[in-house]
Structure 1
Amino acid sequence: MVSGVALICDSNMQIRSVVYNGMENVLKIETGLHFFKLLDQGSLEKATNFIGELKQKRAAFNWEVNFKLGLGIKALYLSGSIIDSDYILVFVETQEDAYQFYEDLMNINSEHIVSVRAAFKETSKYMLESSYNKKVCDDLNVLNNELATMQREISKKNMELNRLYSKLNGELEKARILHQRSLPKQLPEKDGVKFTAHYQPAENLGGDFYNVINLGDKYIIYISDVSGHGIDSAMLTVFIKEAINSYLALSHDQEELLTPGRILRHLAVRARNENFPDDYFICILLGVYYQNTNEFVYSSMGMQVPPLMFSGKTGACELSSGNLPLSKAIEFDMFQFEEWSVSLEAPATLLLATDGLTEQFNKGVQYEERLKELFRREMSSPGSDLMEVIRRDFEDFTGGREVSDDITILLMQVDHKKTCAHE
């Protein structure tokens, strides 16, 4: 017969009868003893939960509980059922022994055989309903072993992922520093021409860029937005800056008029030679301000946010922009390098921005129209003041929540009195 113990307890878990004790040599059981006295102190909470399930479902099967056997502690498997007001408890040494032990009990000549048979029937029903049988236990053991193997593999993969994440974060930090260093530390301000900028990346590493280059009486002004964020975007912004700088320093014919169309054509040729992937896109608006004539000539590739302008001659207006973005996926012959020309007769203000500012929504309202109205109202404010008004208004519009795209604003202001003095 399988080594095990069968008890009958009352609802307070006092032992009323010992049906069978196959562990008598290490476990002495007396009637009237509380069942919990047989257990190790550390298993009392688990045993309480077992009784809870027993009361709820009328049966419970194969709970591993620590018993005090002789001078030591041993884990046994506890099962039970409630018949009338009796709690029939059975515990054995292994999970596989439980079902056999119930069958063995059927052959014992005992006054409690009726209760034991009823308990066996109730527990068998529970085992079937809960899919507890030897085959299922074997299957579960196999699954547990497979799960343990998978967990070890997952642990190894997690360690490798952590290593790769650490390496990637290091690369991202290097790219962030590279992008940050590429941004102009100070913008030109002389002879009545002043520039103010605001840059807010959506992530630690953004895809927007801006720059202003002063060459005598000319200013090259540009703002760009490249596809994506991260290392690729940082690489593209550095490429834009280097390509434009190289054109101004090496490729531009000093006898030839410096125009935005020629600069963007050079940028497009360089990008084609770099063999960037098809899904790399560069949107850029670049202009040249000729201070001696107050003329601002600009060209756009994919920049859909129209510049806003105010001048003493024309008042407030919205300028043209657009055209195709720079990408290898677009045939080179389709690029137009179209130029537009406006007069920035002092006092004048020019606002350039990326779509991270204008395409923000709040309750179905887009910020673009609000920005235009704000510009018309505040256009004559000094650059730093106007920038602060826009920044505060945008924060109020979004409710201070994080935005999903980079925000770049570049303001140019021409002062009437100072430009006259310069002339």
Structure 2
Amino acid sequence: MRLLPKTILVVSVTLFLILVGFYFYVQQILLKTYTELEEKEVQRDLQMVVDTVIHETKMVSTKIRDWATWDEAYRFIKDHNKKFIKDNFTEDTLGNLNINVMIFIDLQGKVVATLKKPDTWNEQELITRILAHHQQLLNHLNEKSEIYGTITLQDTIMILGSQPIVGSSGKGKIRGTLLFGRFFDESLTTELAERLHLRVNFRRLDSAASVPHFRLALANLMSKQQSFLTLPQDKFILWGFTLLHDIFQQPNIFVYLVRERVIYQQGLQSLHSFLMALTVFGLIFLSITLVLIRQTVLARLSRIVRDIQRITLKNSTTERVKVRGTDELAALSCVINDMLTVLDSNSQEIRTLNERLKAENVRMGAELDVTRRLQQMILPKEQELEQITELEIASFMEPASEVGGDYYDVLRHAGGVKIGIGDVTGHGLESGILMLMAQTAIRTLLNNQVTDPLIFFEVLNRTLYDNLQRMNIEKNLSLTLLDYAHRRIRLSGQHEEILIVRADGLVERIDTFSLGFTMGLVDNIREFIAEITIELNTGDMVVLYTDGITEAENEHGQLYGLERLCAILSLNWQHSAHEVKCAIMRDVKQYIGTQRIFDDITLVVLKQK
């Protein structure tokens, strides 16, 4: 992505994240304030409802006062004269008082007279329910005593007031009790809602508990001792709840009101308008910022890039980038020019070093070529192998680099045939030289008719060790020597396992670990040298190899392995030594595929005629 689109993307994303973060922050603060304001409004409305209900109960008590202190009522409660009822009570009396029932009770608790609206309950049932659990209404300690509030009947609620019946002077002996009652019914609820201009409603406590939504609010009001509770239904409706208490200060009325969230909606609208304005401002700011960045930074960077491209095309370190201004981009141009100056001053030295390296590479290439040719020259020739009539011999060697570190040789002498195979650590020039030293020392010992494996390996190891110490190189050689004579092989020296394939295809694996020690690693290995003898019959085969075969890797990094080599031998044991060699190398190449060869590969196949 080019710098300009990347800058636009970074600035846009940054601005977007700032706007989103600012929006959520303002939303939390602003909407929380609006919500708290709404809750206060709802609590104020609930308090107004509570105050109005209390006022209604007080009004009932106030209306009783005129009747309870009337002399005629005072005489009536004593003489029970029905003329009082006939002369003073009409069909409109209760309506004018805005009550549902009026009850006169003497000091013995006997109901003297009852006046109720026709549509209310049966008179006796109503009186029974009022007085059943509310005998406290009749207990007035003095002439000025008054009791008012709400009471819960079986399936309704009533506003009830109670005052003692006394003379007009307000003094004298109490002769009874006067009760005024008004049902807290739907008409009263509607009257209160219209008066307060609120969507308010009232339920008995047990009725509210049966509604799941109210049950949760009721539980909160009862458990937390809260006076008021507000719960949002959604972003449009807010509920308010409170409890009213009866004459005995026990909760008996569940009050709830519904309020539209006008303040909250106004807050949301204000927030969205503010966000829109902020977005417009942000886009204007983004546009101005991008124009300024493009003119003051990106355009100048483009000119610097063009200058560098011009210098690159000319391939000249004498050219310079034009310096414009005095800011950081100008400093960058100066740094680039300083770098070009340094490159220019060092270019001649680099060219000189390149020439020297080329010459050195030519010289080392010549040396490596000589060493490689020497290695190839001292390998046993085909005609030498054919002169060994007792054995079929086939061999293969492929170095991983120009000069290999593998060793193998077949030397005929008066006592028989000496066959050697070994592997120098690593490969390259030093490994190739160590291999040449080993071949020369082995032939020298053989020409001096040294046949004892202890003496042979001891002298060979000492020679290699001393030379390696003089050369100051960390190389060593694993080596196994086979002495063949009269269908018998004497085997000594430590290297890879020797494979003996019998004429019936059975493969025997001979471990050489206990037959010697690594050559050139220490100065004396005499105590490690041992020898075993192997008898060969017609058709038996001996296979020698280096780890370049068993550790060859395929494209998945998996090793070729000794088991796979033994399997190939079991399939091809009946063929000639040359055919077996070809079968093994063909399978190894197929297994490796396109993978590079990491180690030298050497293979020698001997078959008893």
TM over 0.5: yes
Query: Partner letter of residue 378 of structure 1?
Result: N
2:509 pairs with one of 311, 314, 318: 318
Greater RCO between the two (CA within 8 Å, min separation 6)? Answer: 1
Q: How many residues align?
A: 296
1:212 aligns with 2:403: no
Query: Partner letter of residue 474 of structure 2?
Result: D
Equivalent positions of 1:64-103 (< 5 A) are 95=322, 99=325
User: In proportion to residue count, which structure has more strand?
Assistant: 1
Q: Which runs of 5+ in 2 are unaligned?
A: 1-290, 305-320
Distance 1:390 1:55 in 2: 73
Match of 2:485 in 1: 290
Equivalent positions of 1:27-106 (< 5 A) are 57-58=294-295, 60-61=299-300, 63=303, 95=322, 99=325
Q: Which runs of 5+ in 1 are unaligned?
A: 1-53, 65-93, 100-126, 253-257, 416-423
Match of 1:388 in 2: 582
Contact 2:416–2:484 under 8 Å retained in 1: yes
Distance 1:245 1:136 in 2: 69
Match of 2:346 in 1: 150
Contact 1:361–1:367 under 8 Å retained in 2: no
Match of 1:263 in 2: 456
Contact 2:500–2:510 under 8 Å retained in 1: yes
Q: Secondary structure at the match of 1:296?
A: strand
Distance 1:164 1:381 in 2: 49
Contact 1:371–1:390 under 8 Å retained in 2: yes
Aligned in 2, Cα 1:348/1:138: closer, same or farther, shift over 3 Å? closer
Question: Shift of residue 395 of structure 1?
Answer: 1.2
1:369 aligns with 2:563: yes
Question: Shift of residue 56 of structure 1?
Answer: 9.7
TM-score normalised by structure 1 residue count: 0.63
Query: Partner letter of residue 324 of structure 1?
Result: F
1:300 pairs with one of 493, 502, 505: 493
Contact 1:313–1:345 under 8 Å retained in 2: no
1:230 aligns with 2:428: yes
Contact 1:259–1:297 under 8 Å retained in 2: no
Match of 2:528 in 1: 336
Q: Secondary structure at the match of 1:157?
A: helix
Q: Deviations over 1:356-389 (max 9, x none)?
A: 0011233435332100111122222111111111
Question: Shift of residue 402 of structure 1?
Answer: 2.6
Query: Partner letter of residue 329 of structure 2?
Result: Y
1:327 pairs with one of 507, 510, 520: 520
User: In proportion to residue count, which structure has more helix?
Assistant: 2
1:185 aligns with 2:381: yes
Distance 1:298 1:141 in 2: 72
Contact 2:421–2:480 under 8 Å retained in 1: yes
Q: Secondary structure at the match of 2:329?
A: coil
Aligned in 2, Cα 1:56/1:230: closer, same or farther, shift over 3 Å? same
Q: Secondary structure at the match of 2:493?
A: strand
Query: Partner letter of residue 319 of structure 1?
Result: I
Q: Secondary structure at the match of 1:401?
A: coil
Contact 1:297–1:341 under 8 Å retained in 2: yes
Match of 2:355 in 1: 159
Runs of at least 4 residues of structure 1 off by over 6 A? none
Q: Secondary structure at the match of 1:361?
A: coil
Question: Shift of residue 327 of structure 1?
Answer: 2.0
Q: CA RMSD in A?
A: 3.1
Q: Once the two structures are aligned, what percentage of the paired residues are identical?
A: 21
Distance 1:137 1:368 in 2: 63
Q: Secondary structure at the match of 1:317?
A: strand
Aligned in 2, Cα 1:201/1:392: closer, same or farther, shift over 3 Å? same
Q: Deviations over 1:233-258 (max 9, x none)?
A: 22111111111111111253xxxxx2
Aligned in 2, Cα 1:146/1:314: closer, same or farther, shift over 3 Å? closer
Aligned in 2, Cα 1:141/1:275: closer, same or farther, shift over 3 Å? closer
Q: Deviations over 1:86-114 (max 9, x none)?
A: xxxxxxxx956x65xxxxxxxxxxxxxxx
Contact 1:207–1:229 under 8 Å retained in 2: yes
Aligned in 2, Cα 1:95/1:391: closer, same or farther, shift over 3 Å? closer
TM-score normalised by structure 2 residue count: 0.45
Aligned in 2, Cα 1:266/1:150: closer, same or farther, shift over 3 Å? same
Query: Partner letter of residue 441 of structure 2?
Result: A
Contact 1:283–1:326 under 8 Å retained in 2: yes
Distance 1:191 1:61 in 2: 86
Greater C-alpha radius of gyration: 2
Contact 1:310–1:379 under 8 Å retained in 2: yes
Aligned in 2, Cα 1:55/1:407: closer, same or farther, shift over 3 Å? farther
Distance 1:218 1:202 in 2: 32
Match of 2:475 in 1: 280
Aligned in 2, Cα 1:184/1:163: closer, same or farther, shift over 3 Å? same
Question: Shift of residue 269 of structure 1?
Answer: 2.3
Contact 1:260–1:288 under 8 Å retained in 2: no
Match of 1:14 in 2: none
Match of 1:105 in 2: none
Match of 2:546 in 1: 354
Q: Deviations over 1:305-326 (max 9, x none)?
A: 2011023499421112124311
Match of 2:44 in 1: none
Query: Partner letter of residue 552 of structure 2?
Result: Q
Question: Shift of residue 137 of structure 1?
Answer: 4.7
Query: Partner letter of residue 591 of structure 2?
Result: F
Q: Secondary structure at the match of 1:224?
A: strand
Question: Shift of residue 219 of structure 1?
Answer: 0.9
Query: Partner letter of residue 376 of structure 2?
Result: Q
Distance 2:559 2:466 in 1: 42
Distance 1:358 1:262 in 2: 31
